[in-house]
């Protein structure tokens, strides 16, 4: 292959090759050389492009292959497009690269070679690989203008000697100062996801299709790495139970009679909220105390034939939004093993998380078990789509029946609980773009207050779980407390009929509700647990 450029100012490189002479194709650049072993009978146009793309700057989508003036399709074999006896000349048109300066808000500027048709999205991914600057937490600014993810750099006047500024962003899209506590929170929570996202993207790049999991009630897809290994689990918002595109027959299209106000499979949950709850559980698992796998919110873009092509920021307007979580290899789940083998602290860490988040779906099948190098079993909690509900009715913890739950918390767990702050947690969720419904915030506050009071009283995870979970079809103890608190507020109502509901409370009513239910918790614990001590 040989370069036949048309002058220094040309935006393209022309490569010509005679089909009959092809034994292999070598592409030589400043960075090195790569070789594609080629047999004209089987080598496709796409493979020629991919050989070029192995060197930085010549991406497959930036190339066009022409034969006798006609552009060739990617899936065509070289032998298909023309008989070898004719020895035609094939032209590979490659968009020429140029260098631009990249200026981070902190650190030294650096140069990067780009093509005229490169997008902001692909540029950010390359910067992440080259410099370690997270793509998900930065945006590109040129001449004071923010460039959309899908924009071609050429469309916004980016050319030779242009300067591109990398601005840090909050997860909900707001620009934040470099070095701020907010950016540190965002960066810290997303850094563990970078490797997972890179592996998933590498799988898409070699056409590894997502695989629908066999179990579950919603759409959950295993994303594969370039070698076909499972690297992540993607759960689309629109494929959750009762969502419009649920693949398991549990769909309820938007707009049909009765669809307004539709509920998820648990009280106080809504279709489409599960993905953000998966992300929230990871964000609120401070210091990875309960070992929730790294999770992020993303948008998977699709090609015209509905195949997934790339992983982008969840604020993207195109593609399918959802949660992506690192795939954790495991040997079993808790339903398939004897629970006596689990450590007390391992169970307590998950119990604390579930209590804080009012988990309505903690069962043995969503706690994964794996043997560590030292021989102990480690527990990994997954499936947090039904956390942070707007109701206290369906809270459910299978671990309350495990003997470890009745054992007292050790000092490490006690210290962890003592340092929790639900108001800071809610602010942290907002930093990451998660704005809980008011009733969900109330439930979160109630459960954290209960956990804190339980700790002060010396209660076990079992004791607290019994207050929160129904033992029969009757209301749980915590539900009854909430009922009485709401009933007390209702007495002061001037308008309306019936008992107030959580979603009806304004700011002042919410404060009064929390004061009342807190007092009821204290009274209950004094009556029941002080009596036990006697």
Single residue among 74, 95, 116 that ends a domain in this structure: 95
> Does 156 reside within a domain?
yes
- Residue 48 has what pLDDT? 72
Q: Are 18 and 32 in contact (CB under 8 A)?
A: no
**b/e code 93-119 from CB counts within 10 Å (16+ = b):** ebbbbbebebebbeeeeeebbbbbbbb
257: left (phi over 0), alpha (psi -120 to 50) or beta: beta
Length reported for the chain? 534
What's the whole-model pTM score? 0.67
**Do 479 and 427 share a structural domain?**
yes
**Do 461 and 353 share a structural domain?**
yes
| Residue 200, CA distances (Å) to 96, 126, 285 in order | 28, 15, 24
**Do 372 and 407 share a structural domain?**
yes
Count of domains forming the chain: 4
| Residue 330, CA distances (Å) to 292, 319, 366, 431 in order | 14, 31, 11, 32
> Does 271 reside within a domain?
no
**Do 353 and 447 share a structural domain?**
yes
**Do 359 and 476 share a structural domain?**
yes
> Does 177 reside within a domain?
no
Single residue among 112, 138, 168 that ends a domain in this structure: 168
- Residue 399 has what pLDDT? 97
- Residue 308 has what pLDDT? 60
Residue among 406, 420, 419 nearest 458 (CA) = 406
> Does 242 reside within a domain?
yes
User: What is the widest separation between alpha-carbon atoms in the chain?
Assistant: 101
Cα 63 from Cα 518, distance rounded (Å):
66
Cα dihedral 17, 23, 24, 27, rounded to 10, equals -30
Q: Are 370 and 329 in contact (CB under 8 A)?
A: yes
Cα dihedral 460, 462, 466, 469, rounded to 10, equals 120
Cα 66 from Cα 86, distance rounded (Å):
16
**Do 251 and 152 share a structural domain?**
no
403: which DSSP letter?
A: G
| Residue 39, CA distances (Å) to 55, 79, 91, 211 in order | 21, 9, 18, 32
- Residue 258 has what pLDDT? 35
Residue among 88, 68, 96, 115 nearest 6 (CA) = 96
Cα 170 from Cα 137, distance rounded (Å):
7
**Do 505 and 411 share a structural domain?**
yes
CATH at residue 129: 3.10.20.90
Tens digit of pLDDT per residue, the chain (534 long)? Answer: 334 444 444 455 555 555 555 555 554 443 444 445 455 556 777 777 776 665 444 566 666 676 766 777 777 776 676 654 455 555 665 555 677 778 776 667 788 777 656 777 778 878 877 777 777 667 787 777 667 665 667 666 777 777 878 776 544 334 444 444 544 554 555 666 777 888 888 888 888 888 999 888 899 999 999 889 999 999 999 899 988 888 887 776 554 433 345 688 899 999 999 999 999 999 999 999 999 999 998 888 766 555 666 676 665 556 788 999 999 998 888 888 888 889 999 999 999 999 999 999 999 999 999 988 777 899 999 999 999 999 999 999 999 999 999 999 999 999 999 999 999 999 999 888 898 999 999 999 999 999 999 999 999 999 999 999 998 889 999 999 999 999 998 875 655 556 788 989 999 999 999 999 999 999 999 999 886 554
- Residue 527 has what pLDDT? 94
**Do 110 and 89 share a structural domain?**
no
> Does 203 reside within a domain?
yes
> Does 176 reside within a domain?
no
Does an H or E element contain 333, and which? Answer: strand 332-333
Could you tell me the residue range of the domain that residue 132 belongs to?
98-168
**Do 257 and 377 share a structural domain?**
no
Its sign, for the CA torsion 462, 464, 465, 471, is positive
> Does 180 reside within a domain?
no
Give the three-class secondary structure for 436: coil
Q: How far is CA 388 from the centre of its chain?
A: 17
**Do 446 and 351 share a structural domain?**
yes
**Do 437 and 487 share a structural domain?**
yes
Single residue among 95, 119, 136 that ends a domain in this structure: 95
**Do 336 and 470 share a structural domain?**
yes
| Residue 16, CA distances (Å) to 4, 21, 23, 95 in order | 8, 11, 14, 14
Cα 156 from Cα 513, distance rounded (Å):
54
Q: Are 433 and 499 in contact (CB under 8 A)?
A: no
> What is 448-465 written as a DSSP string?
HHHHHHHHHHT--HHHHH
> Does 387 reside within a domain?
yes
């Amino acid at each position: 292959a040989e370069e036949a450029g048309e002058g220094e100012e040309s935006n393209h490189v022309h490569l010509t090759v005679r089909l009959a002479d092809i034994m292999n194709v070598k592409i030589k650049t400043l960075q090195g050389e790569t070789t594609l072993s080629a047999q004209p009978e089987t080598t496709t146009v796409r493979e020629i492009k991919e050989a070029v793309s192995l060197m930085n700057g010549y991406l497959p989508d930036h190339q066009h292959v022409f034969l006798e003036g006609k552009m060739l399709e990617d899936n065509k074999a070289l032998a298909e497009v023309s008989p070898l006896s004719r020895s035609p000349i094939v032209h590979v048109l490659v968009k020429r690269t140029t260098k631009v300066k990249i200026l981070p808000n902190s650190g030294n500027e650096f140069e990067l070679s780009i093509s005229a048709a490169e997008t902001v999205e692909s540029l950010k991914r390359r910067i992440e690989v080259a410099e370690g600057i997270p793509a998900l937490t930065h945006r590109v600014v040129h001449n004071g203008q923010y460039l959309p993810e899908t924009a071609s750099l050429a469309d916004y006047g980016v050319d030779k000697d242009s300067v591109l500024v990398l601005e840090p962003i909050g997860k909900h899209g707001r620009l934040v100062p470099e070095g701020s506590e907010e950016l540190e929170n965002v960066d810290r929570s997303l850094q563990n996801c970078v490797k997972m996202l890179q592996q998933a993207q590498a799988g898409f790049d070699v056409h590894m299709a997502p695989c629908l999991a066999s179990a579950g009630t919603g759409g959950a897809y295993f994303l594969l790495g370039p070698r076909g290994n499972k690297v992540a689990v993607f759960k689309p918002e629109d494929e959750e139970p009762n969502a419009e595109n649920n693949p398991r027959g549990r769909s309820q299209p938007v707009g049909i009679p009765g669809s307004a106000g539709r509920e998820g499979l648990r009280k106080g949950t809504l279709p489409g909220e599960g993905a953000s709850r998966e992300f929230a559980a990871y964000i609120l698992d401070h210091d990875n105390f309960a070992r929730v796998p790294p999770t992020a919110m993303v948008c998977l873009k699709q090609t015209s034939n509905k195949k997934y092509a790339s992983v982008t920021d969840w604020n993207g307007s195109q593609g399918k939004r959802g949660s992506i979580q690192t795939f954790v290899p495991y040997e079993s789940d808790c339903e398939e093993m004897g629970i006596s083998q689990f450590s007390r602290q391992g169970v307590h860490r998950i119990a604390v998380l579930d209590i804080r988040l009012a988990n309505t779906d903690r069962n043995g099948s969503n706690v994964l078990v794996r043997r560590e190098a030292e021989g102990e079993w480690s527990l990994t909690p997954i499936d947090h789509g039904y956390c942070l509900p707007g109701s206290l009715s369906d809270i459910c913890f299978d671990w309350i029946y495990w003997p470890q739950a009745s054992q007292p918390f050790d000092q490490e767990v006690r210290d962890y609980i003592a340092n929790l702050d639900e108001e800071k947690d809610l602010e942290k969720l907002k930093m990451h773009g998660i704005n809980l419904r008011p009733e969900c915030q109330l439930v979160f506050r109630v459960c954290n207050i209960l956990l804190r009071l339980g700790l002060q009283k010396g209660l076990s995870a079992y004791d607290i779980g019994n207050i929160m979970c129904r033992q029969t079809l009757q209301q749980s103890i915590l539900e009854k407390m909430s009922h009485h608190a709401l009933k007390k507020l209702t007495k002061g109502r001037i308008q309306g009929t019936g008992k107030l509901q959580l979603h009806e409370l304004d700011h002042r009513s919410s404060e009064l509700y929390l004061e009342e239910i807190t007092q009821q918790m204290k009274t209950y614990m004094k009556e029941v647990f002080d009596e036990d001590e006697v």
